[in-house]
Every structure is written in C-alpha cells, then in structure tokens.
Structure 1
Amino acid sequence: MEYLKKTFRWFGPDFGVTLEDIKQIGVEGIVAACQHIPIGEVWPNSDIAALKKNIESAGLQWSVVESVNIHTTIKYGLPERDKYIENYIQTLRNLAENGIYTVCYNFMQLIDWTRTDLDYQLPNSASALRFDPIAAAAFDLFILQREGASDCYDEQTINEAKNYFDTLNPEERTALEHAILAGMPGSKKLISLEEFKRNHRTVLEISKEQLQENLAYFLKSIIPEAEKLGIKMAIHPDDPPFEVFGVPRIASNYEELKFILDACPSPSNGLTFCSGSLGASAGNDLVKIIEDFGDRIHFIHLRNVERQEDGSFYEASHLDGSLQMEEILKAIISEQKRRYSSGIGEIAIPMRPDHGHVLLDDKRRQTDFYSGYSLIGRALGLAQIYGLEKGIRSFDN
C-alpha cells in the first residue's frame, strides 16, 4: 500500500529556500500558491501554468494549492461577496485546467495564525513559535486597546498582562506587536496595526452563528462547481483553536468541523487535518477526528505542540510534545487501509511537515524565510515523520 505523499511548502523564487534545496530532502510534491495575485482576484491560467512549469522543471509536482485565500467580503457576508465567489470559482476552473485538484484554504477572520513569540528559545538553542495567552492579552489591552477588551478577561489575567507589559522595553513591545501582525504565511510584510484594528472592529460585530452561515454560503456556492471539476477543497482549522482577541472560532473542534462538512455534503467538501492547530487544545481528540472524518481528509499537516499549564504552547519537535504522533499516524494509516479496501479516495494523501524549528544553518538564513518555514527544521520533521510511518507499517506487517 502507498505511503503518504511527502510534500513541502514553498513560497516561490523570492523565498529563502529553493526548489533544488527541497528536492534533496526526498520530497515528491510541492505545496504552493500564486501569492503575487491580490486576494479576491482570479488566478490567470498563464500564472498558474508558469508556476507549475517552474516546479516541474525541478523534477517535482505541484501537489496542493495552499492557499486560495478568501476575500473578507465573503467572510463578513457583505453584499459584494457574490462577485468574489465567482472569481474564486473561476480560479478553481483554471487550476483544474492545469491539472491541480487539491486546494487548502482557511476561513480565519483576522490573520492566518496567531503567535506571540516568533523566536522562542529552546534548551538546545534552536528556536520555535510560541503562543502565550498573557502576552496576547497584553497586546489586546495595551497595544490594540480594544474597546471592551477588559470585559473578556478575569481580574487575574488583566493584572498578569499589565505586569508582563510593564516589564517590556520598547524593542520587546515592538517584537510582540510584530509577532502578532506577522500571521500571514507567504508574506514578510506585516499587517498594519490600523488595518488589523479596522478588520477587528468589523468581525467583532458578527456573531459566531453568522460567521458559520457565511462559511456555509460560500461552501454551497463553490462545492458543486468544485465537484464537477474534480477538485477537493480542504479547510484548515483555526489556529489557535480557541477565541483570541474576542473573535469566535468556527473551525476549531469536532462539532465545528462537523458543521462544515454537513453544510454541503460532498466528497469535494473536506478537511486539512492539522495536528498542531487542533492539538493546541487539550479538548480535541485528534484520533477521533481522523476516525470519524477520515474520508473527507484531503491534505495533512503534521507538527507537535507542547501545551503548558498556563495555557501557553510552543511548537515542539515533530515526535515530542503533548501529542502522541504515533497514535495520530496509526489512525491515518487505518484510513488509508479503508480507502484501499473500498477503492474510494486517494490513498497517498499529501502530507507536509508543518512549521519547523530554526536550527543549524537555518540560523544563518533566518531573515530569508518566513516564520515557521525553516529548511532544516522542516526537513528534520519530515524525516522523523517518515521514519515513524515506516516503522508503524513494518510493525503492522
């Protein structure tokens, strides 16, 4: 039976990691996007074909699009959303015309992910991404200065956030702000604080139920077209999987994922299973999510997190941390066996090591790549995951 398809995210020629670098790691597929095209505009056939040719010229395959980002008018349910939904559908048509059939996307309302430290120092001198709820509260209360923010926190959290913020020098306060405003993979450009505030005010006026309905509206519009094209849509979970800055989550747990899949039942309406995003909440049973929704998992991100008692977490090495990666991989392999027996579904599910520590030569090129996307750190993660996968399969035989 086929192994998981080993893929690696690549952000284009200006990224600090080349396709030639990636090929040496033993990767089969590339996860990429036409990132230069503004969100909401149609991806022209010519741009898709050019990127595909670039990837294939290195002897690799463009396996997954990550991401065709969703315009805010769709997320916020604004009147002009239908125009952007039609643009989205046309992009899907153009991708299918170029033989690309798996699309990862997310419906996060402000930024793609939230961390408070992009260079958290580990005991071995490598560095990782980290989220600290007290630092996040300090940003909310004293940098963002959101109206009504104090109502979202208990007195102890407010006091701890104030004490934490008061200890920061100006450079450290700037680093905190930049860490949060940098949560858009594929771009080294920070979201401006004013833009963040503007979008934040808008989304705070929308209830969780309305956000879910906006997502359902989007799915009911695009999934029938995606199914005709043979495209598998794979929504990425919210990261982290709990409310941040007063913004509700709608893709963070079992019930919310079930709502998404039930909103438009179709093999084309599926999931990106991200162990790190879902695993940041101890309340998520990752094995159950794989077992119950496995036939709708079209793409896999594997990484580990170390959850700490104070509610913070950092991104641990791929085989260490709070998540039992061997149990997660066993469940995924069981899903592959089910697909093999039934003859339904892609057996070699594309998988990529998600994020990676900054270590060794990564430290010398740290300013070249994007946060979480070091070369050696991710290569180490891929090797660990592949070795674990091979060991599990050998044991089963």
Structure 2
Amino acid sequence: MRQTWRWFGPKDLVSIDDMLQAGVEGVVTALHYVPTGAVWSPEEIARRQAELAVMRDGAPSGLEWEVVESLPVSEDIKRQSGDWKGHVENWKTSMRHLREAGIEVICYNFMPILDWTRTDLAYRLPNGATCMRFDAIDFAAFDLFLLRRKGVEEDYSPEVTEAARKRFAGMSDARKEELSGNVVFGLPGAAERMSMEDVRTHLARYDAISPERLRGHLIDFLAEVSPLAQELGMRLCCHPDDPPFSLLGLPRIMSTEADYKALMDAVDIPANGITLCTGSLGARADNDLPGMMRRLGDRVHFLHLRNVALEEPHLGGSFHEAAHLEGNTDMVAMIAAILAEQDRRRAEGRADWQIPMRPDHGQDILDDLNRKAQPGYPAIGRLKGLAELRGIMTALSHPKVATS
C-alpha cells in the first residue's frame, strides 16, 4: 500500500514537517477554498503542489500531491437542478487540469448536503484521549427539537423520541449550540459553513428525491465523467455514506456492498471505482469489509483505514471512532485482503497495483489535545494509527509469513 496523509493546506495545524517525520510517502489534499461547482485552475493546482513541496525551512519535502480528496460534487449535480450540466463540465475541466499536473486519483462523495455527521467532535474516552462520536439519542434530540424538520416524528420510535426528549431537557444552552455546530459541521476544510436555516432549505430541496432517483443521478454523472477519466488515465473513487444509514430523511445510496456492486455494474469502466473506507462502512455491523475487498477489490482505487466501536448492535445506533486496531473491524484480516489484491494486480502487470491508503482520522492523544487540529485529523493519533497499520503490513508481507 502507498502510505499517504491528508493535509488541509498551509492553515493545517499538522504541517508538512510533521508528515515527513511520520514517514508518509504522498499527500492527499484539495483546494478547499474553491467554491463548489467552480473550475480548479492550473494555477491554483500548481500553487498547492508548491506549498506541499517544501518544509518550514524551505528545504524540499520530496512529497507530491497523489490523491485529490475531494473534488466536490455540487448539490445541483446531485439533484439535477440549476446549472448542473455546467457544473459537470466544470468538473471535467478540473479533471483535465489535475491530470496535466500529474495527479491520477480523485476521491469524491455523493452524500446530500453533509459530508459526514457526528454529535461530538471531541468525546472524552476513559483514558483521557478524545475522539469523534455519533450519539443516536443526541442526534434525535437535535433533529426533533433543534432542527424541527418537517415530518421528523415519523422517523423515530416512541422510545427514541422519549429518550431524546429527556436528553434535550437536560441540555444546557451551550451544549445545544455545540450539538448544532457539530452536526452541521459540513465538509471538512470546506469553504461553506451552514446555518440551521441553510440546512432546512437544503433538506426541502431533497423532499422529492428518493434513493432510486439519487442513484440514477449518480449514474448519470458517472456516465459523463468516467469515460473521460479512463481516457485521461485517471481513477475516480466514490466514498461511502458516513454514517451508512439514513439521517434527516435524506436518501443514502452508498452504504453497503450491494450499493457499490450496483454502481460498478451500471458504469462498468475501470476508472469508475471505490474509496473503501473501513470507518464509514464499519458503522454497519452487516458490512463484511475483508469480504468486500476480496469481491470488489479490482475497482478499489483508494483506501481509508480507520476503526469504529459500535456501542449498540442495531443499525443506526451510537458509535465512536476507536483506535485503529481496537474497533469492530478486523484490521489484520482487512490488510491481508488488501495485500492479496495488490499481489493479484502485480501479477497481471497493472500499473496501479499499489493502492494508496491513508490512516483515516485518529484519536487526539498527548500533545494533540493542546494542538487542536482539524477534528479527526490529529498529528500523533494518526501517527499511532499509521504505525500500527504499517506494522501489520510489514508482518504480513514478511517472507516467513507470506510463504507459510
């Protein structure tokens, strides 16, 4: 696996120097400040490449921009509204500019409105570390009593509604404000920050869009961009829903193996591929992640390796982001499946045999607690995760193990 690290640009509190000392091989980044739907110009792409090419003291870093995460897909494209066709053309132009700059892999998602959803961005664990967490009752309290969206009562059982009512009654004004901010945090590093009224407005625009219709819009989008990606020698990889179950009455279409299989079959082009995120997909107990890697691995173009601890067995229950080897996903089995896929690709002579991965998210530990970097993206917590994953990779690839 190609070991990469996400970087949010010069304002990121985890620096290029930190990445180098962690031993990463490449950088995952994006032009977060460019408005969604606009073209990424060659000048701005080159600027980001130059920014990550040097250390604090001006010495060359030796690092390159290897994966785009994300080239955002506009809400107009998802809904096929407004100037959505113009946005698709702009997306294709941005693809051309990225390929001209030497970049081959683009991660994107097709989640309506929010890129990911958590109720806590710094939940305190018993050992004093903090992590991101989704509390199902807190979320219901937000939805029922803060957002108060249309038809919300139909989405919750009487038991959950009553538990949320009690939880909400005990919340301070500060916690209510914090909860609202956490839920609508939006795209990590993005230029947009949505108010409650913004969320209500966006939700209303999805009232008539079913999962089947949204899936059709994604297929239409990929039918436009995937052939160009194939022609350019690029790989597109769709990130799963996070969390992988319905929230706010919005359609979810990338939450299971069946969802990915349907999309790969619908646009059966090698460039149309998967970001296999073990954290997002791992929030469903019924997702067999090593099995997904074995069965869909041919189209996996990017990997997010992280773990979640499910606090409740049922779909839609609470969970928190665990240390990389401590959640519900068997990371040893997962990495074994990835290495087997790489061996298969290498035997076929594929140029893309080595799959880029990054240690996705991480708990805030040690000096991370004072640094307060982007939620989910600490320096030491991710370094710990990368070291653990690297240890498994090294052990499973060792001749005495690989040939036994």
Shorter-normalised TM range: over 0.9
Other-structure match for 2:41? 44
Give the conservation status (yes or no) of the 8 Å contact 1:7–1:351.
Answer: yes
1:139 has 2:145 as partner: no
Give the conservation status (yes or no) of the 8 Å contact 1:115–1:183.
Answer: no
Shift of the alpha carbon at 1:80?
2.0
- The residue correspondences of 1:244-259 to structure 2 (distance < 5 A) are 244-259=247-262
Query: Tell me, which stretches of 5 or more residues in structure 2 are unaligned?
Result: 55-60
Other-structure match for 1:332? 338
SS in 1 for 2:340: helix
Match of 1:150 among 138, 150, 153: 153
Give the conservation status (yes or no) of the 8 Å contact 2:35–2:191.
Answer: no
Match of 2:357 among 339, 351, 358: 351
Shift of the alpha carbon at 1:56?
2.6
Give the conservation status (yes or no) of the 8 Å contact 1:219–1:263.
Answer: no
1:360 has 2:357 as partner: no
Match of 1:306 among 294, 309, 322: 309
Shift of the alpha carbon at 1:247?
1.2
Other-structure match for 1:6? 3
Other-structure match for 2:80? 77
| Distance in 1 (alpha carbons) for counterparts of 2:345 and 2:351 | 6
Match of 2:374 among 367, 370, 373: 370
| Distance in 2 (alpha carbons) for counterparts of 1:233 and 1:83 | 20
Change (3 A) 1:365 1:188: farther
Query: Tell me, which stretches of 5 or more residues in structure 1 are unaligned?
Result: none
Per the normalisation by structure 2, the TM-score is: 0.95
Shift of the alpha carbon at 1:79?
4.7
Shift of the alpha carbon at 1:5?
0.8
Other-structure match for 1:27? 24
Per the normalisation by structure 1, the TM-score is: 0.97
1:53 has 2:23 as partner: no
Match of 2:68 among 59, 65, 68: 65
Match of 1:225 among 228, 231, 256: 228
AA aligned opposite 2:17 = E
Shift of the alpha carbon at 1:188?
8.2
Shift of the alpha carbon at 1:340?
1.3
Per-residue CA deviation, residues 248-283 of structure 1 (Å, 9 max, x unaligned), is 210000111112112211110000010000000001
Other-structure match for 2:296? 293
| Distance in 1 (alpha carbons) for counterparts of 2:351 and 2:186 | 33
AA aligned opposite 2:391 = G
Shift of the alpha carbon at 1:44?
0.4
SS in 1 for 2:284: coil
RMSD: 1.2
| Distance in 2 (alpha carbons) for counterparts of 1:54 and 1:90 | 23
| Distance in 2 (alpha carbons) for counterparts of 1:161 and 1:208 | 27
Change (3 A) 1:360 1:188: farther
Other-structure match for 1:321? 327
Per-residue CA deviation, residues 53-106 of structure 1 (Å, 9 max, x unaligned), is 222332201110000001111001115211000000000000011100100000
Deviates more, 1:209-218 or 1:256-265: 256-265
Shift of the alpha carbon at 1:204?
2.8
- The residue correspondences of 1:132-211 to structure 2 (distance < 5 A) are 132-187=135-190, 190-211=193-214
Give the conservation status (yes or no) of the 8 Å contact 2:68–2:106.
Answer: yes
| Distance in 1 (alpha carbons) for counterparts of 2:136 and 2:9 | 33
AA aligned opposite 1:192 = S
Change (3 A) 1:31 1:105: same
Per-residue CA deviation, residues 166-224 of structure 1 (Å, 9 max, x unaligned), is 11110111111111011311148642111111111112321111100010110001111
| Distance in 1 (alpha carbons) for counterparts of 2:11 and 2:221 | 32
1:17 has 2:23 as partner: no
Other-structure match for 1:273? 276
SS in 2 for 1:344: coil
Give the conservation status (yes or no) of the 8 Å contact 2:7–2:29.
Answer: yes
Give the conservation status (yes or no) of the 8 Å contact 1:65–1:104.
Answer: yes
SS in 1 for 2:122: strand
SS in 2 for 1:178: helix
Deviates more, 1:190-199 or 1:142-151: 190-199
